[in-house]
Homo-oligomer: A and B are copies of this chain.
Amino acid sequence: MKKVDLSETRAFNPLGMKNFVLHESEFFKIINFNIAAGRIFPVHAHDLDGQVSIHVVEGSGAFLGDNDAVIPAKTGDILVSDIREPHGVRADTDMRILVTIAPPI
């Protein structure tokens, strides 16, 4: 068993994004990304089997997808996407997301 405390990784870089790998195993990887207001986690995809969940734990903005898709995102929203489906995040405020990737990449 291992406990991590999200309050310990609450750090922002006004010029972009900070990320903290909270856990990695053969089963999943958990990363906290903190995105400064006005910044974007660019839309990307990997040609691999698997899924990712993106949980907004603070702030608001949008989930981004293929063909300029924009899905409003607020604290408490969770997006689930295939890893091979394009996905990204736009931060309208300072925004913290918890990303779980299974299997880990």
Binding site for B on A (CB under 8 A): 1-7, 22-23, 25, 27-28, 30, 49-51, 53, 55, 57, 63, 65, 69, 71, 73, 76-81, 85, 87, 98, 100, 102-103
Contact = CB atoms under 8 A, between A and B. Distances in A.
Main secondary structure, interface of A, reads: strand
Contacts of A3: 63, 71, 73, 77-80
A76 B6 contact: yes
A78 B30 contact: yes
26 contacts: A1-B65, A1-B79, A1-B85, A1-B87, A2-B81, A3-B63, A3-B71, A3-B77, A3-B78, A3-B79, A4-B77, A4-B78, A4-B80, A6-B76, A23-B78, A25-B80, A27-B103, A28-B53, A28-B100, A30-B80, A53-B100, A55-B98, A78-B98, A100-B100, A102-B102, A102-B103
